[in-house]
Amino acid sequence: MSEAAPHLLIEALVKRFAPGQAAAVDGVSLAIEKGEFFALLGPSGCGKTTLLRMLAGFEVPDEGRVLIDGADMARVPPYARPTNMMFQSYALFPHLTVERNVGFGLRQDGVAKEEIGRRVASMLDLVKLGRHAARKPHQLSGGERQRVALARALIKEPKLLLLDEPLTALDRKLREDTRGELVRIQRSVGITFLMVTHDQEEAMSMATRIAVMSQGKIAQMGPPASVYESPANRFVAGFLGSVNLLEGRVKGAEGGTVLIESPEAGGVLTTLSSSDTIPGREVWVAVRPEKITLSREESAATPNRFAGRVRASAYRGEVSTLEIALASGKTMRVLLPNSARESGTGFSYDEPVWLSFPPQAGVVLTQ
């Protein structure tokens, strides 16, 4: 983050929809710099959409402030804010052509016809829809309608573009293709994007930073890789991708590592040291499925190894997810590339296996 004032500053924002009820947004503070692609990520009801609507001016905060380039937005109505919003439904005018949908806001502002034509043509080129300018929304694919909505939101050159679940209406393959397009467009225009999504993969693949929300608060914030690799608690670990959680108690420290007695694992786990790990304290070791190694033979040189049996296997194209039952009854999830199938080293149902992971793969969580 730079030393200059943040482009968007949210200070202790609170929103309640009824007296006595829990706050939908509960004291949220964050700073976003110009040109960032920021994602608010969380399950339904966590407060992310309410927060987005307060930024747009559609909801009034009970407490706190929203500042854009240092200007307080409290008394600024939605239409006068330097923001624009791309709605989940796209909200295109069905009777207008693509060209007129995109230029609608400029016409409302009284911009000269020649200027509208120039800016619309430039924006349609940016979203690669120039040849569809004369079509109506019903003549477009879902991905094309999404790009029309984006062009209409961008053409007024807002300081901040708010995106409410922008890819939800698209099928899986189209969502994957469109992610890269959105990032390309955002980098091209240099406008700050703030996206709300419940899709972890979307947030991690598109955003420069993410804030994971839970019960109206920010549970953790940072670059996607940092939040994924070093979750702050069990909620973040479980929500941001798949994770195995092994419960145990801290046994002690040894040579820069922490030893954790875990009946679920059937022995002592070795992880990297942590300042929060006090002997006797209850903790959980979070291990991502892709960081676990499977083998048919036990290796005495491998730390964190324990025996199990294959109980299920789900083929997912490029990878397979295996469920391994340990002697304690704990089920571990393991992710394997399907190149193992081609090489004949895949694993069968009920086959005995050994699981292992290096100390750096286990993240110690205290809450």
pLDDT (tens digit, 9 = 90+) per residue, 39-79? Answer: 999 998 899 999 999 999 999 999 999 999 999 998 899 98
pLDDT in tens, 42-53: 998 899 999 999
For 239-251, what is the mean pLDDT? Answer: 91
**Phi and psi based region of residue 179 (left: phi greater than 0; alpha: psi -120 to 50; beta: remaining):** alpha
- Cβ burial of 18 (10 Å; 0-12, 13-18, 19+) is exposed
CA distance 124 to 11: 37
Confidence of residue 342 (pLDDT cuts 50, 70, 90): low
Nearest CA to 260 out of 296, 204, 252 is that of: 252
Residue 340 has pLDDT above 60, yes or no: no
Number of Cβ atoms within 10 Å of the Cβ of 23 = 19
More reliable by pLDDT, 9 or 155? 9
CA distance 243 to 218: 20
Q: Measured on CA atoms in the order 126, 132, 134, 135, is the torsion positive or negative?
A: negative
Please report, rounded to a whole number, the percentage of residues in the chain having pLDDT higher than 70: 96
CATH architecture of the domain with range 8-237: 3-Layer(aba) Sandwich (3.40)
Confidence of residue 169 (pLDDT cuts 50, 70, 90): low
Same topology for domains 8-237 and 246-365, yes or no? no
Task: Show me where the domains of the chain are located.
Answer: 8-237, 246-365
- Cβ burial of 359 (10 Å; 0-12, 13-18, 19+) is middle
For 110-120, what is the mean pLDDT? Answer: 89
Q: What's the pLDDT score for residue 345?
A: 58
CA distance 106 to 100: 10
CATH architecture of the domain with range 246-365: Beta Barrel (2.40)
